[in-house]
Every structure is written in structure tokens, then in C-alpha cells.
Amino acid sequence: MPEASSPSSNAPETTAAAAVTDDFVTRQHRTASGLRYTSTTGRMVLRREEDTDGKTVGFKPKAEIFMVSYTADSAESHAPSSNKSRAKTPSGPPAVNRRPVVFAFNGGPGSASLWLHMGLIGPRIVDSGDVGNMTPAPYGIIDNPESLLEHADVVMIDPVNTGFSRVIEGGTADEFHSFIADRDLIAEAIRLWVTRNQRWLSPKYLVGESYGTMRAVAVARRLHEAHGMAVNGLGLISTVLNMSTLEFAPGNDTPYALHLPTYAAIAHHHGRHGNRPLDEIIRDAEDYAAGDYVVALHLGSRLSKRKFDGTVKHLAELTTLSEAFIRRTNLRWDYMEFATELLREKGLMVGRIDGRFTGVPPRLQESHTWEDPSLRAITPPYAAAINHYVRAELGYESDLPYEVLTGRVHPWSYETFEGKPIDVTRDLERLLIDIPDLRVHVDYGYHDGATPHFAAEYVWAHLEVPASARARFSHHYYAAGHMMYVNPEVRVAQLGALSEFVTQP
């Protein structure tokens, strides 16, 4: 909870571009453990350097990026004023802040950072409940005793058109709705924060979720290549680095096999595998997906009838889908077809972001829909929490809507990958080689239908790096969904592992 308030003066929402300035406000707080810290909340103005005939003519504002940073206070900053007045001016250079700093963001594209902020990393988190026991509206906010702030300073970042981040009045938002522009903008926000706060000599970590994992790798490479800034670690939560591992498209059979262990895990959660242990089900599905199933898919019409029938039978055992459905789909179905089919006889579908959740589909005969009962259940408590928390506890006022999951960033441009898979694994390979001490922390949710764990493992298996680089990975698996921290027990374990990661020498 806030310990003290300080007056603030936010810039007007509408102002001439030339007069646009940062509008940060600060508050002092104390965690349940007694740690005193300062929150700094607001929008950082990012500018572009303009040249004419080779000469710099100015720095024109281009975007306002909403950020919330939490920094632990030194003992001196809370010493009595009388002691301060007697303190001598220290001689020599100022002390270097060696406390780690974590920069975090979600993905989408089009998602604000509220999920990691209010669900996992921040000092205050939403009281959302979990599947089967969701907290009813109007929800609540509680202390996060395992907050990463106990071990590192934290900076939450919202990309353009998410949260309160916007382009400058008169600007064009579309120019920032692309892989490259987004990468460069987030990298610039991090560079500025590090520079202004004198943290170039602090350990630095990037933590991303979903598309945010792709962003984290790309931003880390940009920081290293453009500014010589070497990050110490990447925290990848619900990972996607190669989009072709997830995209169900004609001629691309790989995603069908990589989703199979997730289908088996979700079927297990809904009681369709009896008393068999989850780990056993997943291992069986992984073995089959990496072996006979992928061979059957790649053979196509060359697969014999006997082997086709055997594949149908085995897939039905692992997924608990009917043999008739599997035959009808020619051994290939996408995730949303699975989501609407698994519990069809009960009139239910399962979630994509979190397959543990169920809901009634728009139509009972639905065979494919992008409705997601897990997002419908999770979004309201998180939206309520961030909108209250930012204003009431962090002191930031704005009449702008806080964009939680927005379509305003689409179409999203991947022009740089034209004719190639959308893939940043080459960037990760270079980072692992060029920064010999870079470590990578990976979190997987077994019930995550958006970024299946086996797809991420496929990417790691194909990295062209030496064994010494692979040894710098740590892998953590949870019986949970995409936002795995929705499960309170998982959140505690996840934060324990993340805390160890950012404090490891």
C-alpha cells in the first residue's frame, strides 16, 4: 500500500507536439516485508533525431510510452532530516548501484503489460482467483509477498497503443505497429531509462511473455548491436520465437505434432485420462509426436491404410477425441477445432490461453471459433485491478482508456521477414555467442494452447550453438496455462525460480 503521497502535475492529454514532456509521478511505499521503495509512473516521451543536409536540426517527439518503475530506496533516502543535515558530502565518485533491474512486457501484439505486472512481478497483484474458484466482481488487489521487487528493481513497459502509450498528436500509429519499429522503440525506452537512472553498471534482465518473448530476444539484440548494452539474462514466459511452429497452414505439418502433448495434458485436466499421472501422459504424447505421428504427417497420402488406422487409434487414446473426428480431419486439426471438440458432448469448449477453463461456445454446433472462455474469465479482474491501482495507489491520472488487449495495433507488419518464417532464433544464437555469460530462463505451461511447451522445446533443439551455451538455459514446467501465475501455487514457485535467476551471479 502507498506509504505517502506527493503532489503531482500530469501533462494535459492534448498538447502541441513541441511542448510534449514526460509526465511521471512518484510515490513512496513499503512492502509487507518492510522494504521501502519508490514507484515512478507515467509516460516517457521518445524523440527522433532529425537531420537536414547532414546536420541535426532537432529532436522531434514521436511517441509517449507508459512505464511503471519500482526502485528500492536506500537507507539514506529515509533517514531523519536532522541526520541528513549533519551528513558530510561524500568524497570520490558516487557508489554504483549493483541491484539488478528487470524490464518486463507482455506480447500480443496488442497486449499491455498488466498481466505480468498485476499477476506475477509487481508488489501488488490482483485477487482474481483461479479456475473453478474465480473471485467475483468487483475483485480486489492484494500484497504480493513473493514480488520480484524484493530482489530487483522492476520496470513495466507498454508498447504503443497498449496501456496508456500513444503516438504524439498528429503522428501515425501505424509506423510503430511492426516488428522492427516496436523492437527499436522498446530498446530506446530501456536505453533512456538506464541512462537517466545511472544503471549502466547494474545487472539487466528482460522478461517477456508470449509475443513478448520474441520482443525480448529482438530488443536484447538491438541493445547489444546499436548501443553496446549487454543484458545479463532473458526471462521467457510462454515462449514463441519461431511463428512457423504455431501456424497451422497448408504444407506445414510441424505445428500439428508440436501441439499434441498440450492436447493430451488438457484432456487429462478434464478427467479424460482416468488416474494416469499427468507426467506420464505428456511423456507418451511427446514420444509419439516426435516419432510415429510426425512421420505419418510427412508421408501424407503415401501413408498406408494400416498405418493410418493405427495413427487414428493412437491419437484418439492420447487426446480422447473421437476416431471419427480424427479421420474426418485427416489427422490434422488446429487448436480451436480441438477446443470446440473436446467437451462437445457436454455443450462446452475449452480455453486457448488456458485449457483448464471451459465455457459455452457461441453455437453448440460450432467447429471453429476464436472465442476464448479463459480470456473472458481472466480479463475483467486484471482490467479492474490496473485501472484502480494506477490511479489510486500510484497516483497517475489520465482520462485515456487503458488498452488491455487492443486490435488497434493491427495489421502488424512483419515486412522484414517477407518470404521467410517469422523467427528470431538467429538473434538468440548471436546473443548467446556474443555475450558469453547470458543466461536464459524459460517457463512453460502444460495447459497453454497459445504457445505449447513442445513447440518451444523444438526451437531449443534446433539452435545452432555450442553445448556450453545450452548449459545456460534453465527450464521450468507448470500444470497451468499461458498466464500460469493465475494459479497461486504456481505463482509462488514461478517467482521463486525467477528470483533465483535474477540474483544468480
pTM, rounded to two decimals:
0.91
Q: Where are the domains of the chain?
A: 2-74+96-243+378-503, 245-374
Question: Can you give the pLDDT at residue 55?
Answer: 67
In the block, which residue shows the cell 471451459? Answer: 358
- As a whole number of angstroms, the longest Cα–Cα distance in the chain is 89
94 band by pLDDT with thresholds 50, 70 and 90: confident
Backbone angles phi, psi at 210, to 5 degrees: 60, -125
- 40: its cell numbers: 515512478
pLDDT reading at 2 higher than 70:
no
- What's the whole-number average pLDDT of the chain? 91
* pLDDT band at residue 83 using 50, 70 and 90 as cut-offs: very low
Residue 334: pLDDT over 80: yes
The torsion region of residue 105 among left (phi > 0), alpha (psi -120 to 50) and beta comes to: beta
Query: Which pLDDT belongs to residue 29?
Result: 96
Q: What is the pLDDT of residues 445-493, one digit of tens each?
A: 999 999 999 999 999 999 999 999 999 999 999 999 999 999 999 999 9
At 52 the pLDDT is 67
User: How much is the average pLDDT of 436-440?
Assistant: 97
Instruction: Provide φ and ψ at 273, rounded to 5°.
Output: -120, 20
Please state the rounded mean pLDDT for residues 1-14: 43
pLDDT attached to residue 12: 40
- C-alpha grid cell, residue 58: 532537432
∠ CA 276-278-280, nearest 5°, is 70
**Whether CATH 2.40.340.10 fits 2-74+96-243+378-503:** no
Mean pLDDT of 112-120: 97
Nearest to 451 by CA among 316, 289, 306, 335: 335
d(CA 79, CA 193): 26
Is the confidence at residue 366, as pLDDT, over 80?
no
CB atoms within 10 A of CB 435: 18
Q: Name the residue among 88, 74, 64, 5 with its Cα closest to residue 392.
A: 5
Q: What is the C-alpha to C-alpha distance for residues 163 and 404, in angstroms, rounded to an integer?
A: 6
The conformation of residue 119, written as its DSSP 8-state character, comes to I
Per the CB < 8 A criterion, the answer to whether 192 and 40 are in contact is no
Query: What one-letter code names the amino acid at 455?
Result: A
Question: Distance between CA atoms of 310 and 315, rounded to whole angstroms?
Answer: 9
Return the H-helix or E-strand segment holding 57: strand 55-72
